[in-house]
Structure formats: structure tokens, C-alpha cells
Amino acid sequence: MSKLALVTGATSGIGRAFADRLAADGYDLIAVGRNTDRLDQLVEARPDVKISPVAADLSTLDGIRAVADLAAAEPVDLLVNNAGVAHYMPLAELPADKAAELVMVKVLAPTLLTRAVVGGMQQRGSGAIVNVGGMIAFSGPAPSTVMPRRAVYAGALADLLAFSQTLSAELEGTGVAVQALLPGVVATEFHTRQGLDLSAIPRMSAEDVVTASLRGLELGETVTAPGVEDVSLLETVFAADLAAFGGQSPQVATRYRD
């Protein structure tokens, strides 16, 4: 019996690479995207695989609810929350509708789609949820001289990281795995849609990102950073987070006293 994967943003970039790889691995697919022509191209490219194309706009509540209802009704074995939007600019310059769109696609949609499938996964005692973010989730302390201004985008990816880590702990022992997938710069259309030419910067392929994700699931990783060779760097960050969390006191810190 084939396993079933639901992939959002399945028509380009990392999402398309996930769809192609999972189809090759024998999964049936629910492929979600905005572009119906590209969804049709995906189906035509894999006539040997059962692919159910779903045209939906995850920047709208109606689109999120439609996909969530579908996901809740199906025995989804693997959910890949990959859909994204390229609104990467200073907050003061980010139009309100684009800020809302980014939060809907990268925060609300993954949250509600995960909620839709996690109950069934728990009942079956198996399943995996992959939340595609990026290494920018760690970039909050970086000054604008190092990284472009990107408050909403970075905040959304940081949310995905904390959400994945906390949910992973919540689901410990249930057989359901959760992964925050955090690639660096990837050779996709993401930056060209913003008019940015990153061709001179070394970039990872979307296919390598998917390979790392699937291997990370096998290794039991909650956080998979495909381009980070020294995993102790990640462990140091997470240990520091817990140390800061555990270092609090009911007394106000000395530096805040008169």
C-alpha cells in the first residue's frame, strides 16, 4: 500500500523537488499550489504516480481551510509545509497586505495544516511533518550591515523553528516525527521573484535540500540544517536557549534595579 504525502508549494523550488523525490520513492501525492498550469505540468511529468493536484492560495483563510479539511480527511503519512512568499524587505516598507500574506503562508498555514493531520498520525502511531524554513531563523542578532532588513520574514521562520521544536517534544513517544528544515541559500526562483541576482553566490540545489531532509528524518533530527557540517554549532545554540530559559528568577535582575 502506497504512502501518502501532502506537499504545499509543490510546483517550484524545494516543493517541486520534494514532489519529484517522493513520487520516485513510491508515495501518492497531494500537490498544493497556486499555479494550475504548473500543477498540470507536475501531473503530466509523473503519469506513473497518483497525484491529486489542489489549486489553493494559502495566503487566504479560505485556501488554508480548504486544504486543512482535505488533509484531515486523508491518511497523510508525510506533510511538507513548504509554501512560501518572497516578501523580504524592511517592515516600514512592507505593505500591510504583503505582511499579512507572509504571516498567513509561513505561520498560520503550517500551524493549521499540521493540526489537521497530527491527530490521524497519532492514532496510526506514525507519520512525519516537515516545516520548511531557513537558516535566517537564526539571524535575528545580525546587524543590517550583515543581513538585509527582514523583520517579518525572519520572525516567521523563527516561529517555524520554535513551533517544530515544541511540537516535537509534545509528540515524543507517539511515533510522529517533526522536522524544522533550515536550508541556507538555495538555487530556486525565490530570489529572482524579488529581482535579486544571487548567481554569484554558492547555492545548494533543491534536490540536495530534500535529500538532507529525508536523511534527517531517518536520523531522528528535529532540526535539519543541510549546509551545516558541524552539528555541535546547532547543539550549542539550543543548549544556550535552555540555559537562558532556566536562568530566570522571580527576583528582578540586578541591572534593572535603581
How far is 118 from 71, CA to CA, in rounded Å?
A: 10
Of all residues in the chain, the percent with pLDDT exceeding 70 is: 95
E strand or H helix at 54: strand 51-55
* pLDDT mean over 146-167: 91
Contact by Cβ (8 Å): 98, 81: no
Which phi-psi region, left, alpha or beta, contains residue 139 (left: φ > 0; alpha: ψ -120 to 50)? alpha
Task: Give the model's pLDDT for residue 203.
Answer: 72
What's the length of the chain? 258
Task: Give the model's pLDDT for residue 81.
Answer: 98
Catalytic residue among 27, 88, 153, 256: 153
* Lowest mean pLDDT, pick from 27-36, 107-116, 193-202, 223-232: 193-202
The residue among 114 and 201 whose pLDDT is bigger is 114
Classify burial at 207, counting beta carbons within 10 Å of its beta carbon; exposed 0-12, middle 13-18, buried 19 or more.
Answer: middle
Look at residue 77 and tell me whether its pLDDT is greater than 80. Answer: yes
Let me know if 153 is a catalytic residue: yes
Q: How much is the pTM?
A: 0.93
Task: Give the model's pLDDT for residue 247.
Answer: 95
How many other C-beta atoms lie within 10 A of the C-beta of residue 11?
24
CA atoms in the 13 A half-sphere facing the CB of 207? 3
Look at residue 250 and tell me whether its pLDDT is greater than 80. Answer: yes
* Lowest mean pLDDT, pick from 129-138, 194-203, 227-236, 249-258: 194-203
**Closest CA relative to residue 21, chosen from 5, 41, 38, 35:** 5
Task: Give the model's pLDDT for residue 107.
Answer: 97
Tell me: the pLDDT tens digits for 185-208?
887 666 566 556 566 667 789 999
* pLDDT mean over 122-133: 98
| Per-residue confidence band for 179, with pLDDT thresholds at 50, 70 and 90 | very high
Task: Give the model's pLDDT for residue 189.
Answer: 64
Task: Give the model's pLDDT for residue 145.
Answer: 76
**Residues whose CB falls within 8 Å of the CB of residue 6, separated by 6 or more in sequence, listed in order:** 29, 30, 32, 67, 71, 74, 76, 78, 79, 80, 113, 117
Look at residue 42 and tell me whether its pLDDT is greater than 90. Answer: yes
Helix 109-124, helix 151-170: angle, nearest 10? 10
**Closest CA relative to residue 171, chosen from 238, 113, 220:** 220
**Closest CA relative to residue 129, chosen from 224, 50, 206:** 224
Task: Give the model's pLDDT for residue 218.
Answer: 98
